[in-house]
Amino acid sequence: MHDFAIQDRQVLSDLASWIADRRSTSSSVRPGRTGALPSVTSGGIGIHATWAAMRDLLLPTAFPTDHPRYLAFVGGAPTPAAIIADAALSAAAVYGGTELEAGDVVAAERQAVRWLCDVVGYPEQSHGVFVSGGSLANLSALVAARHGIESPGGGPPDVIVASGAAHSSIRAAAAIMGCRVVSAGSPDEPLDAETLTEVLDSLDPRDVVAVVANAGATNTGAIDALDEIADCCEVRGIWLHVDAAYGGAALLARSRREQFAGIQRADSVTIDPHKWLFTPFDCAAVLYLDPSVARAAHQQRADYLEVVADDDDNPADYAAHLSRRARGVPVWASLVANGTDAYVDAVETCLATAGYAAKQVEARASLDLVAEPRLSVVLFRRRGWLPVDYARWSAQAHARGTALVTPTRFGGETVLRLCFVNPLTTPADVDLVLDSLEPEAPHTWQPAVRHPSDPGRGR
């Protein structure tokens, strides 16, 4: 079972061609229709038949996040260099927790962390680690924020003050930590210092674990007033965590950098390369201004770990994990292969496509832009549609494999949301999606309930 038989090598070359060709065959998505998958048996069916089942039955039912019309949630379009590195990493059976085992793999990841720290504008001593996702990055940062501090009542502080648009993972992290979340501001607008000050003035700063601000809210792309927020935190001695899981990539765009002013003052930052930095799942970075605090909070000790040199720089020490995939290697490999200029261009392309989409929405009589696009998120209304109409249109496009676009809520109204993180998404892809929303679109069903007098407000 552990040997590569001669005939199994054929599978490897088939896999290589499949990887190279699948972009051009992305139209063969068959979402949700599961063929008869082979079962687990005592005898097994061999590598050939198993790979064939994966290729032909299993994988086509998943809507790939790098499909040019995957515009829901936050997708992700890995580069070939990152894909190759990711595959090799699995094959090489690398344990990415410590320098002892991973050797220069840790150095490669450190280069990728360094690049991200530079992008944020962090100083030399900053550091971080790649974890499974923004959720674990946020949790790890908040645990570091709480480390070694005490509330006036004794025991650790238990309040997390979060921007109104904070990602759901902040509440999840708070629940794990036994903390409560105090929300500041609205889910639809960026948080400013005035609103935050009001909230902080109602609390004892010594009860506060951290303030969590957004640099690219997932739903709207909004960036909080980071510099002013950093001032509020600084005077009160409160840890500032900036969640840039989705939006951080836009720091690369010269035209947008200014909106992030102050991010370099945060005590910790989350950026997900598996979203808008072209890396396969799963890969998120948690970055720390002072990594020694994170290390003190997270380093695990055990008798069998004593061989791990204390002065080594071990990725295991900087987040809530021990064993880990060296998931920064695909980031490093793609940066080395493509150069950082290609990243700037790719992010700018996504922003330009979002701009194109917003213009097209404005130009169409049946569509209304509900907010100026922020970063690469476009929110808009289809006139006359109720929530049920959005849901049916979305489900139909998904079932056909033509697009994955899902509704959301903005200002209490159900609207459509497009999020552009794939530079291979073209204006023609945008047109195709928008055309299918036109009243006379050939594939459009009749709305469930017609409300000719309804201006388009959903419920």
Nearest distance from residue 25's CB to ligand PLP, in Å? 27
Question: Are 51 and 247 within 8 A, CB to CB?
Answer: no
Q: Which residue number, 295 or 327, has a Cβ lying nearer to ligand PLP? A: 327
Q: Which is nearer to ligand PLP, 210 or 437 (CB)?
A: 210
Among 99, 224, 243, 317, binds ligand PLP (CB under 6 A): 243
Please identify, using beta-carbon distances, which residue of 246 and 380 lies nearer to ligand PLP.
246
**Which residues contact residue 303 at a Cβ distance below 8 angstroms, ignoring those fewer than 6 apart?**
none
The single residue among 67, 127, 167, 295 that binds ligand PLP, judged by CB under 6 A, is: 167
Please, which residues have CB within 8 angstroms of residue 212's CB and are 6 or more apart in sequence? 138, 142, 160, 161, 162, 163, 166, 170, 241, 242, 243
Q: Quick one: which of 169, 314, 353, 360 contacts ligand PLP (CB under 6 A)?
A: 169
* 408 is a contact residue toward ligand PLP (CB under 6 A): no
| Nearest residue to 419 (alpha-carbon basis) of 253, 242, 276, 254 | 276
How far apart CA 121 and CA 119 sit, in angstroms, is 5
Q: Kindly state whether residue 330 participates in binding ligand PLP, applying the rule CB under 6 A.
A: no
Q: How far is the CB of 218 from ligand PLP (least distance, A)?
A: 4
Name which of 215 and 308 has its Cβ closer to ligand PLP.
215
**Residue 134 touches ligand PLP, criterion: CB under 6 A:** yes
Nearest residue (CB) to ligand PLP, 245 versus 266: 245
Report the interhelical angle of 340-363 vs 427-435 (nearest 10°): 30
Q: If binding is defined by CB under 6 A, does position 279 make contact with ligand PLP?
A: no
Q: Which residue's CB is nearer to ligand PLP, number 222 or number 434?
A: 222
Total interface residues for ligand PLP by CB under 6 A? 13
Of 169 and 195, which CB lies nearer to ligand PLP in the complex structure?
169
| Separation CA 219–CA 187 (nearest Å) | 9
Nearer to ligand PLP, 270 or 402 (CB): 270
From the list 1-9, 42-50, 55-63, 131-139, the region that binds ligand PLP by CB under 6 A is 131-139
Among 267, 272, 317, 389, binds ligand PLP (CB under 6 A): 272
For ligand PLP, the closer of residues 350 and 367 by Cβ is 350
By CB under 6 A, tell whether 218 contacts ligand PLP: yes
Which residue of 74, 142, 269, 379 would you call a contact of ligand PLP, by CB under 6 A?
74
Contact segment (CB under 6 A) with ligand PLP among 104-112, 230-238, 243-251, 435-443 equals 243-251
The smaller minimum CB distance to ligand PLP, of residues 70 and 246, is found at 246
Smallest gap from Cβ 9 to ligand PLP, in A, equals: 35
| 248 interacts with ligand PLP by CB under 6 A | no
Here's the x/- map for ligand PLP, 89-128, by CB under 6 A: it reads as ----------------------------------------
Contacts of 365 (CB under 8 A, 6+ apart): 383
**Residue with smallest beta-carbon separation from ligand PLP:** 134
133 binds ligand PLP (CB under 6 A): yes
Residues that bind ligand PLP (CB under 6 A): 74, 133-135, 138, 167, 169, 218, 243, 245-246, 272, 284
